[in-house]
Amino acid sequence: MRWRILALLFLARVGAGFQFQTMGSVGTELSGAFGLDNAEIGLMIGLFMAPGLLLALPAGFSGRFVSDRMLVGLGLAALALGGAISALATAPVGIGAGRVLSGAGFVIAGLYFTKMVADWFEGREIATAMSVLVMSWPFGIAMGQVGHTWLTEIHGWRAPFAVASVWCALAALAVFTLYRPPNGLPSGAGTWIKGLLPHEWGLVVCAGTAWGVFNAGYVVYLSFGPSMLEAQGMGTLAAASVISVGSWLMILSGAVCGQIADRFGRRETILAICTAAAVLSLLLLKMPGTGLAASLLFGLVGMAPAGVIMALAGQAVAPERRAFGMGVFFTTYYAIMTASPPIAGWLFDQNGVPDSAILFGAAIFALVLPVAIIFRMLKTGAAAEPLKETA
């Protein structure tokens, strides 16, 4: 049953990545239509993440009073409505408003997607399950990198927003009608939230930081990798296709990496190898003729530990406090994700070439491992504390 639930959540969450990628795929057309510079395009990309700064904690509280299924359904509906508003917009402010509404939906749906999988897979194949779940995001993005570019060339920049909205609306209906919670799940519905334990705060902030910088590096790769290849003489659709190779490959490599982590452990070794590969991939993009090799390395190794990192969120907080803990986790994540694209876009504008934006992405990728090590140290210290008390 839990694998069928995971398949449902995977397909539904694909819509979030598909909707997110709309802005990255139509940025050039919007620059021509409305005169937006790279920093403003980066801001539009970041607006999708901005609502998380305000809504992640309230969304975590809401789980005490509203079912996970209802909250995910509402979040996906907001993703659909926000995309429709952007598709109908006649000025940048309208597109931005749609992005904010879509982002608000993603905050709510994304938090409870993660909680649902943690509830179903706690203590068994958690890294594998989280790997499968988080791969839905790059799957949707990879669809958008090619599909949105194709739709834009044929039907204009409004079409990608509209098509992504249809997917999200259908996903909302599917989750609302088909999802069921696991039996015997601890519930705190209707009770007052006492908050996290002291060590849980440190763990969940570390987990959110690791997830934030990992995804921020990925977004820089997605948003400015095609520009790097275009600056080397590659066509727009060809550049998008090459960069999308990394997203397609990480769908497979992420699941394999999760299996390896569940069977053999050695999570920090895995993170060291994979983040080094991600940094190297971004550096390779700067060298003419190495775009495909960089994308292959990025997808096969660099982005493989996504589920290993996301699994930290499920390990940080006890089940009865998990909804609120996810709120803290995603608040940290969204703070990093909101700031990163505008910074990368500003660096691009300052130099007129994407090199500095790509270097920024490499730098934030490099932060994943030290943050994960701090998480492990805090976790070890928390486990040792009860032993000291009983000694």
The 10s digit of each residue's pLDDT in 289-329 is 888 999 999 999 999 998 888 888 777 777 777 777 878 88
**Highest mean pLDDT range out of 31-35, 127-131, 354-358?**
354-358
Question: Could you tell me the pTM of the whole model?
Answer: 0.73
Q: Is the distance from CB of 246 to CB of 361 less than 8 angstroms?
A: no
pLDDT of residue 188: 47
Question: Following CA atoms 265, 266, 272, 273 in sequence, which dihedral angle do they give, to the nearest 10 degrees?
Answer: -80
**Distance in angstroms (rounded) separating the CA atoms of residues 222 and 227:** 10
Question: What confidence tens digit (pLDDT) does each residue in 157-192 have?
Answer: 899 999 999 999 999 999 999 998 887 665 544 444
* Angle, CA of 26, 136 and 177, to the nearest 5°: 105
Q: Is the distance from CB of 98 to CB of 83 less than 8 angstroms?
A: yes
Q: Identify the band that residue 280 occupies on the pLDDT scale cut at 50, 70 and 90.
A: very high
**Distance in angstroms (rounded) separating the CA atoms of residues 274 and 122:** 25
Question: What confidence tens digit (pLDDT) does each residue in 112-122 have?
Answer: 898 888 888 87
Separation of CA 388 from chain center: 39
**Distance in angstroms (rounded) separating the CA atoms of residues 186 and 167:** 32
Could you give all domains of the chain from N- to C-terminal order, each with its CATH number? 2-180+193-383 (1.20.1250.20)
Question: What confidence tens digit (pLDDT) does each residue in 10-48 have?
Answer: 999 999 999 998 987 887 788 878 887 777 887 888 788
